[in-house]
Amino acid sequence: MGNNTSLQAALGGWPPAVLDPAGPYAEPVTRLAWALLLGGTGVLLIVLTALAVALWGKPALRTRLGGDRAIWIGGVAFPGVVLTALLVWGLWLTGSLQATAAQPGEMRVKVTGEMWWWRVTYLGERGEPVIRDANELHVPIGQPVLLELESADVLHSFWVPRLAGKMDMIPGRRNLLRIRADRPGTYGGQCAEYCGGAHALMGFVVVAHTPESFARWRAERLAPPRPASGRGPELFLASGCAGCHTVRGTPANGTAGPDLTHVGARRSLGAGILPNNRGTLAGWIADSQTIKPGNRMPNYKQFSPDDLNALADYMESLK
Amino acid sequence: MKSWLILLGGFIVWTVHFFGLYLIAEFAPSATLVIALTILCIIADLWLLRWLRAMACSEAFAQWRRSVGMAGAVLSLLAVLWQGLPVMLA
Amino acid sequence: MRSETGFDPYLYQRFPTQEERPPEEEEGLRRIWCAPKGWEYLTVVNNNYVGIFYLGTAFLFFLLAGVLALLMRVQLAAPLMEVLPQATYNQVFTMHGTVMMFLFAVPMVEAAGVLLLPQMLAARDLPFPRLSAYAFWAYAVGGLAFFASLFVGLAPDGGWFMYPPYTSKAYSPGINADFWLLGIGFIEISAIAGAIEIIVGVLRTRAPGMSLDKMPIFAWAMLVFAVMIIIAFPSVILATLLLEIERAFNWSFFDAARGGDPVLWQHLFWFFGHPEVYIIFLPAAGMMSMIIPTVARTELVGYRLIVLAMIATGFISFGVWAHHMFTVGLPPMTTGFFSAASMAVSLPAGIQVFSWIATLAIGRPRFNAPGLFVLGSIVIFVTGGLTGVMVALVPFDWQAHDTYFIVAHLHYVLIGGMVFPLFAAMYYWIPMVSSRAMSERLAKWVFGLMFTGMNVAFMPMHLAGLMGMPRRVYTYLPGSGWDMLNLISTVGAFLFAFGVLLFLIDLARNFRMAPGGGNAGNVYGAGSLEWLPTELYSTRSIPVVKSREPLWDDPKISDDVEQGRYFLPRSATGLRETIVTSPLLAEPQYVQIMPGPSVWPLVAAIFTAFFFLALTVQAYMFGLASGVITVMAMLRWLSETDRPIAQDEVDIGAGIMVPTYMTGPRSHGWWAMVILMIVMAMISAMAMFGLAFLWSNQPGFWTPPASLGGGIPIALGYGLVVAAAVSCRWLHRMGKNWAVAPVLLAGLAAPLLTWLDIRMWSAVLAPDASGQGAAVFAILSLQGTVAAIGVLFAAYLGWRSLRGLITPTGNSTLDLACLFIGYCGAQGLVGTIFTRAVGA
């Protein structure tokens, strides 16, 4: 699998994502995490030492360990001091990382969790939708982006560990999460709140661009759609695809499924589970239920291999 | 009744404080209320400690009861202080 | 020492008595407490039997849920495995969590209480033996049926936390979710029945002289445990009721589009769910604190601090529920003090761990089977506690929440805090109930495999979580970097399982039930009362307790007890009986007559389970019939109790006379009823919280409530019900026999008031119109249910009154009916006003 064609390469492996932050909304948490992991190990060693002394230590040491005083020191005083310090650190950090309302001119994106994919809507100054996309988020580096997290059905949780902690998506509520990527790259994530069926296969990527590259990407998305013709578009419109999917510039305007206007440009397919190429596109159309059981798109086994190829070609051309 | 009050006193104060904070945060968010409640509960814990310290106990059970009560008040005091911290820091 | 009840402690010095006891006394005890034969095993109520059945069933569920865990580990051993299909996996992980929490952990420790407490307190049995039997059978029948749903693919798949809206009708249309909601329903009933039993047992049936500061630490743990159940379980009972009503009748408690709120479920669930962890941990910690002194051959260091720690845990664990909700988007002030309380709750755990270490330090510890498991428990539990402190910090939890880091954390806490102590306890107490002890040699292997397996399985999960692996995933993709870690975890899980398998082999070889004496005895040399020589009637006589380890401090005590030189060396009335003592200092107050074996608890339990299962599969007529049979069976069982006794007073040894009957606030029945009222009040309070919560979170959906003025006559009516209940109890004690009549009237009037209130609200709101409507009608429905039970009470009271069973001195039934009907009125009064006040 190519390096940045699919989510898992972007998420997985060494170093652990939580310990490898890529922006200021994750980095302080990583510092805290290291302090906790090292401090926790230290405390564990202290307790184990105390236990070893209790079992095998010199009588004098054991006597000193065997009284109310030791319990007060080990069980109350020591944790009391350590935990007070940690609590102050934690509270201060909570306050400083808590997302506040949008700043003027700040980039805002609405991400809606759906079973089992992500609807991404880039918002304008007044909150109006500007660009519609799915399953990936493009951001410029070095710039905070405010995410407005909502849910269309059940609970989901938005989590891109290298950029920020997670935040739940709850019907009837709008939660805010701010992210900022400091280096160009692809940052993976996955739904973290159990949402039934294919919860395990609900991935997501954030693609961080240099300012120039981001401007280019944005211009492409805002450009009027190119007309398309041929077997693929015809099949798309005739076979019911348009009932759920939108391809701007064509009569296809369904909204139940992901917007496919730029599906060919996406890093991955099926919400971050497959690389995006002609083969996987054709496979997904014919048999998405095997690839991602329970997802809301039916299998289209009726297509002949030629039809599938034509459709996949069309999809791939939608850059 | 008095025995239970001594044994549980600190934690009754804790309960008042914690659920007071929760109700304030859920239904009437106000830092002033939180601080007032925290100070009241700290005073209650300190008063409890003083009362128990001064209590004359000759019998084994009464002494035991008092020492559990005092330790409870100390823990309660620590917990109340911690729970007051978020608002004090903000 | 001053007295609590007017009993003169000087009388204790008459024991041990010197004169010979007549031999027919022991014969009498044997005859009255005789062992069951054949089918009678089904109707047995004695704790020696019910306790073992209960433990065995709970352990069976441990094994079953463990098998589910192994299945999951196989599926996750490599990416994209196809051992368990997605839908099956989701059912399996839901059942693993649910069964471990509801069918193994809570019943297991409750069963341990049923088995051990009477022995430790030197009581003949728990105060309500039939209630124990009922709790056990309801749990066993219902639990097995619930588990079987897995084999037909109807098991719930919403996670053990069952978050709506995924579990609502719209997203879970099948009856799978109903299996969970109703299946857990009767397990909750069973848990509460057990908790009532344990609270009254610990506070009222201790051996004379066993004041609170001399009580075995396990009894303290069970006391706090049971009180926590009483406070925590009502919340989940209410939550499951509401969700089931939403699914069945479309009332919108949790549907945000209609003024409900899915977050309300999370509050209600975790208000139960987090204390639940401590509900499981505390009894296990109590076992640790019993075993460690024996292992170290010294007394427990810091007894009073451990008691304090247990009480502290009991309180503070109710202030940490929202740490499961740090990513919900709560305001920072709220997450702040929940974070603080989560820190605070770690202090009592620290106190206990250091007390155990201190005890080991001053003692001469042995590395026998219980010893190894307690040491393993300390190491594992401390590790889990430290990761617990980490996730108590909100920013770290934002990353760790709902990942495998949490899976690792919770298994360290629960396996270290509950499973290892439980294995230590099984090795430690099996000699008390079996004629052979377990194999020490095999135990080393069992421990080695379980300890290694546990760490190999769960340590890598910390890292998998930090690498971004979320929980509850049925598979993962290749190239995610999680493959190796998951494979290691799977290997560890199987090591652990092999340890458990070895334990089972040992159990099959050595466990031979010996409830009526002839057990292996005090092989570890413990000092507490459960190691006195016992038969089915428990100890021959009930000793005066002067210290925490009577067997260590008084070498003659076993012999004196066996020779009948202490309290109650015979059956004074010719019936099953035990001494009821005062709650603080355990001074003898009266002799309680205990019910014997009966088929009715069994019938009631089976039909309770049928009732819930029938509702699940929507066989409503069968459900109704089962419900009616249940109520009839309970009334039948009840009708045999509270009978006149020939002797008013009996000699319980050394010429000390106590009554055989007690009414009012000193009686054990009164205590149980008050606890039941607390349960109902908690359910009602939670429902009112729900209404207020929806008002504060969904104000856009609020309509003006029914008028307060219209509610005042209803409230006054409820006030009259309370007044009638209170005053008539008093008048009856004064000798006015007619005073039963107004209580009956009050009991019958309460449902009419509820009906009036429902009529008034129906004009304003519909229950399926909005969250407000749903919540208001939920409160009214609860009131209706309580009022209906009140009618049953009134009918039963009337029946007894006509039979002449209510006398000025023998009026416990009247007492309890007055309490219940009075409570019913009070709840109605508060509800009538509260529903009208919210959002007025």
pLDDT tens digits for range C570-610: 998 999 999 999 999 999 999 999 999 999 999 999 999 99
Q: Is residue A170 part of a domain?
A: yes
Say if the Cβ atoms of A87 and B78 lie within 8 Å.
Answer: no
| pLDDT, average across residues C412-435 | 96
pLDDT grade for A2, boundaries at 50, 70 and 90? very low
- Average pLDDT, stretch C396-400? 97
Whether A165 contacts chain C with CB within 8 A: yes
Question: Is residue A137 in a domain?
Answer: yes
What tokens does C574 get? 């010719």
Whether the predicted pLDDT of A6 surpasses 60: no
Contacts of A80 in chain B (CB under 8 A): 78
Rg, C-alpha atoms of chain B: 15
- How many CB pairs below 8 A link B and C? 99
Question: Is residue C443 less than 8 Å (CB to CB) from chain B?
Answer: no
Mean pLDDT (whole number) for A85-99: 92
What's the mean pLDDT when you consider all of chain C?
94
Q: Report which secondary-structure segment, H or E, holds A110.
A: strand A107-114
| Per-residue pLDDT tens over the stretch C419-429 | 999 999 999 99
3-state helix, strand, coil in chain B (%, to 5): 90, 0, 10
Nearest to C30 by CA among C130, C124, C119, C118: C124
Cis peptide preceding C16, ω within 30 of 0: yes
pLDDT score of C383: 97
| A79 in a structural domain | no
Check residues C567 and C480 and name the one with the higher pLDDT.
C567
* Same domain, yes or no: A200 and A246: no
Query: Which CATH code fits C42-510?
Result: 1.20.210.10
Cα dihedral C370/C371/C375/C378 (nearest 10): 50
Confidence of residue C331 (pLDDT cuts 50, 70, 90): confident
Helix (H, G, I), strand (E, B) or coil at A274: strand
Residue C528 pLDDT class (50, 70, 90 cuts): very high
> Quick check: C354 pLDDT over 70?
yes
- Residue-level pLDDT at A3: 37
Note whether A148 and A258 are same-domain residues. Answer: no
Q: For chain C, give every domain's residue range.
A: 42-510, 665-837
Q: For residues A6-14, give the mean pLDDT.
A: 57
Q: How confident is the model at residue C72 (pLDDT cuts 50, 70, 90)?
A: very high
Residue C185: which pLDDT band, with cuts at 50, 70 and 90? confident
pLDDT higher than threshold 80 for residue C2: no
- What pLDDT is recorded for position C640? 86
In this complex, the residue of A76, A87, A92 whose CB is nearest that of residue B82 is A87
Structural domains of chain A, count: 2
CB contact under 8 A, C305 and B82: no
> Which CATH number fits the domain that encloses residue A189?
2.60.40.420
Q: What is the pLDDT of residue A1?
A: 31
What would the mean pLDDT of C157-166 be, rounded to a whole number? 95
Q: Looking at the 3D structure of chain B, how many domains does it have?
A: 1
**φ, ψ for residue C761, nearest 5 deg:** -70, -35
Residue B33 at interface with chain C, using a CB cutoff of 8 Å: no
Quick: pLDDT tens for B69-85: 999 999 999 999 999 99
Q: Are A148 and A174 in contact (CB under 8 A)?
A: yes
Residue C103 has what pLDDT? 96
Give residue A208's domain range.
Answer: 1-66+99-213
pLDDT band at A35 (very low <50, low <70, confident <90, very high): very high
Work out the mean pLDDT of chain A and round it to a whole number. Answer: 92
Distance CA A237, CA B28 (A): 55
Confirm if C531 and C522 have CB atoms less than 8 A apart: yes
Indicate the residue of B74, B75, B85 with minimum beta-carbon distance to A87: B85
Chains with at least 3 CB pairs less than 8 angstroms from chain C: A, B
Q: What is the pLDDT of residue A10?
A: 53
Q: Taking CB atoms and an 8 Å limit, are C394 and A90 in contact across chains?
A: yes
Alpha-carbon gap, residue C293 to C358, rounded angstroms: 10
Please state the rounded mean pLDDT for residues C535-549: 93
Q: What average pLDDT values come out for chain B (90 residues) when binned by 10 residues?
A: 93 96 90 95 97 89 94 96 87
Q: What whole-number distance in Å separates Cα of residue C405 and Cα of residue C503?
A: 29
Angle at C537 between CA C536 and CA C542, to 5 degrees: 140
Mean pLDDT of C662-675: 94
- Say if residue A61 is in the same domain as residue A116: yes
pLDDT of C623 strictly over 90: yes
Q: Would you mind telling me the total number of residues written for chain C in this entry?
A: 840
Rounded Cα distance between A240 and A244, Å, is 8
Of B75, B78, B89, the CB nearest to A91: B89
Q: Bridge partners of A169?
A: A156
Report the DSSP pairing between strands A203-209 and A167-169. unpaired
For chain B, say whether A80 makes contact (Cβ under 8 Å): yes
Helix or strand holding residue C382 (H, E) = helix C369-392
| Residue B38 forms contact with C (CB below 8 Å) | no
Note the pLDDT of residue C308: 96
Domain co-membership, A134 together with A166: yes
pLDDT computed for residue A5 by the predictor? 40
Q: What is the CATH number of domain C665-837?
A: 1.20.120.80
**Mean pLDDT (whole number) for C736-751:** 92
The residues in B 45-84 lying below 8 A from A, measured between CB atoms, are 74-75, 78, 82
Domain boundary among A155, A183, A213: A213
Are C760 and C712 a contacting pair, CB within 8 Å?
no
Domain extent, residue B48, equals: 2-89
**Does A172 share its domain with A270?**
no
Residue of B nearest to A96 (CA): B90
Contact with chain C for residue A192, Cβ under 8 A: yes
The closest CB to that of A83, out of C343, C474, C480, belongs to C343
B65 inside 8 A of chain C by CB? yes
Q: Domain boundary at A150, A180, A213, which?
A: A213
> Which pLDDT score is estimated for C4?
87
Could C340 and B65 be called an inter-chain contact, meaning their C-beta atoms sit closer than 8 Å?
A: no
Q: Is A95 an 8 Å CB contact of chain B? A: yes
Task: Give residues with Cβ within 8 angstroms of C685, minimum separation 6.
Answer: none
Rounded-to-10 torsion of CA A230, A235, A236, A241 = 180
> Could you give the percent of chain C with pLDDT greater than 70?
100
Asked if residue A8 has pLDDT above 80, the reply is no
Encoding tokens for residue C136? 């056990």
Residues A205 and A241 in one domain: no
A155-159, C99-103, C117-121, C734-738, range with the lowest pLDDT: C734-738
Intra-chain end-to-end CA distance of chain C, in Å: 56
- A267 and A150 housed in the same domain: no
Distance CA C458, CA C454 (A): 6
Give CA–CA dist C439/C462, Å, rounded: 35
C-alpha distance from B5 to closest chain A C-alpha (Å): 23
**What is the mean pLDDT of the segment spanning C253-282?**
95
For residues A104 and A191, membership in a common domain is answered with yes
CB pair distance less than 8 Å for B85 and A95: no
